[in-house]
Amino acid sequence: MKLTKLAAIVLIASTPFSSWAQVDTNKIDDVIRASMARFDVPGMAVAIVENDKVIFAKGFGVTNLDTNKKVNKDTLFGIASNTKAFTAAALAKLVDEGKLSWDDRVIDHLPEFRLYDSYVTREMRIRDLLSHRSGLGLGQGDLMIWPSTDKSVDEILAGLQYLKPASSFRSKYAYNNLMFVTAGEVVARVSGMSWNDYIEKIYYNRYTWTTHARAFHVFQKVIKTGRQVIFLWMARFIHFL
């Protein structure tokens, strides 16, 4: 049933623009509302883009279960770890500009960088920060940033050396947020700008993204969905994670 609903949305979204005029948008509404009910989603915004043109954009449901404020096509939602792609792309841009190499040692850019194992500290490369193969376990160290934190990036980096690895270096995949905090700090050091400012310069300004929130405490004022589990540590590290 879940796959059927998801497949229906994909099928609608992939309809060629030439035949779009023949599509009954009420059917789109029906599929989306059925999916929301199935997955217990209180609100969502849907956009379909083809050939750089928005051919459908609409909000469904509410942003807040207490106030019943409606979602519209311009409502902001937190994107959580999708911002990891921003960090990876920022590093790639710095590599293209010759300011960084994927095979640079992390300590060449962050001299204070320390892990539990001195060998891994020396051999950790920029590409390793993005690969989830550092040797740390799934989510290891997240208590430094979850559910909320007043720690600075410097304090979090200093705490890495006390995390005993769960596996050997590069031997296993284990999703880890703190290596992306580290990668975000590499972006800042190499670019000479804060992560926020660098991303805003190379993406937001270039592509005219006018409706974004730079940090979760700003975003939180825009939308609050009573049923969603939200990552409060994003108040400081939304763009790194």
Q: Please report, for the domain that includes residue 183, its CATH number.
A: 3.40.710.10
Position 8 in a domain: yes
In this structure, the answer to whether residues 157 and 38 fall within a common structural domain is no
In this structure, the answer to whether residues 55 and 90 fall within a common structural domain is no
Q: Domain containing 46: what range?
A: 2-61
Contacts of 18 (CB under 8 A, 6+ apart): none
Position 75 in a domain: no
Q: How far is CA 4 from CA 13, 23, 26, 56, 58, in A?
A: 14, 19, 18, 21, 22
CA distance 198 to 90: 8
Sequential pLDDT tens for the chain (241 residues) = 454 444 444 444 455 545 555 567 888 999 999 999 999 999 999 998 888 888 899 999 999 889 999 999 988 887 888 889 999 999 999 999 999 999 999 999 999 999 999 999 999 999 999 999 999 999 999 999 877 778 899 999 999 999 999 999 999 999 999 999 999 999 999 999 998 889 888 886 665 565 555 554 433 443 344 333 333 333 334 334 4
Position 214 in a domain: yes
Q: Which of 159, 84, 95 is nearest to 129 (CA)?
A: 84
In this structure, the answer to whether residues 88 and 170 fall within a common structural domain is yes
In this structure, the answer to whether residues 185 and 112 fall within a common structural domain is yes
Q: Is 209 exposed, middle or buried (0-12, 13-18, 19+ CB in 10 A)?
A: exposed
Bridge partners (DSSP) of residue 107 are: none
In this structure, the answer to whether residues 50 and 88 fall within a common structural domain is no
Domain total in the chain: 2
CA distance 113 to 105: 10
Residue 151 CB coordination number (10 Å): 16
Q: How far is CA 158 from CA 122, 144, 237, in A?
A: 16, 11, 16
Position 70 in a domain: no
Position 68 in a domain: no
CA distance 2 to 165: 37
In this structure, the answer to whether residues 48 and 108 fall within a common structural domain is no
